[in-house]
Amino acid sequence: MRIGRIQPPRAAQAGFGYVWVMLAVAAFGTGLAAVGQLWSTQAQREREAELLLVGREYRQAFASYYAHTRPGTPAYPARLEELLEDRRGPILRRHLRKLYLDPITGSENWGLVSAPGGRIRGVYSRSERGPIKTANFASGESRFEKAKSYADWRFEHFSAAAVGSPRR
């Protein structure tokens, strides 16, 4: 006869190990979800920063187009492509190097801010997603602080002619 320790049933041991594995998988999944949320927020912040840079480029291009308007020519372009090659005068002007994609939607389909005469004086993202950034905007962009969506971030050129008074 053999005397020794009494062994617990194997089923109880296997169940205990299974519980530990399940807890480890749950903890790992929770950690991955937190990292994914953090990554998503960071990616949106980067797209916001890019939208601000691209929007400012467009605003500057509209201002340049307007500043180089000669009497008798339209003060704003009819299409965005006219910012690439302004042929209104004897010298070809390039107010913008290329047409940018909307960083938020990834589309080249921008919302257009109309000027008198059906021309374009600005652009905006068509995204209805709410922005993360709500403060500390650059000079001239304080109205972005009240924006409910990226579509409210309008990058437009303001001038006396843009609000209705005639241009010489």
pLDDT at 84: 96
Q: Which residues contact 11 (CB under 8 A, 6 or more apart)?
A: none
pLDDT at 6: 66
Residue 2 lies in a domain: no
Range of the domain at 67: 48-156
pLDDT beneath 70: ranges in the chain: 1-4, 6-14, 160-168
Residue 20 lies in a domain: no
Residue 21 lies in a domain: no
pLDDT at 34: 77
Residue 66 lies in a domain: yes
Residue 25 lies in a domain: no
Residue 63 lies in a domain: yes
Instruction: Report the chain's C-alpha Rg in angstroms.
Output: 29
Average pLDDT, the chain: 86
Residue with the two structure tokens 């530990």: 20
Residue 1 lies in a domain: no
- What dihedral angle (degrees, nearest 10) is formed by the CA atoms of 157, 160, 166, 168? -90
pLDDT at 8: 60
pLDDT at 50: 97
pLDDT at 163: 47
Q: What is the pTM of this model?
A: 0.76
Per the structure, the count of domains in the chain is 1
Query: At 156, phi and psi to the nearest 5?
Result: -135, 155
Residue 102 lies in a domain: yes
CB 126 within 8 A of CB 149: no
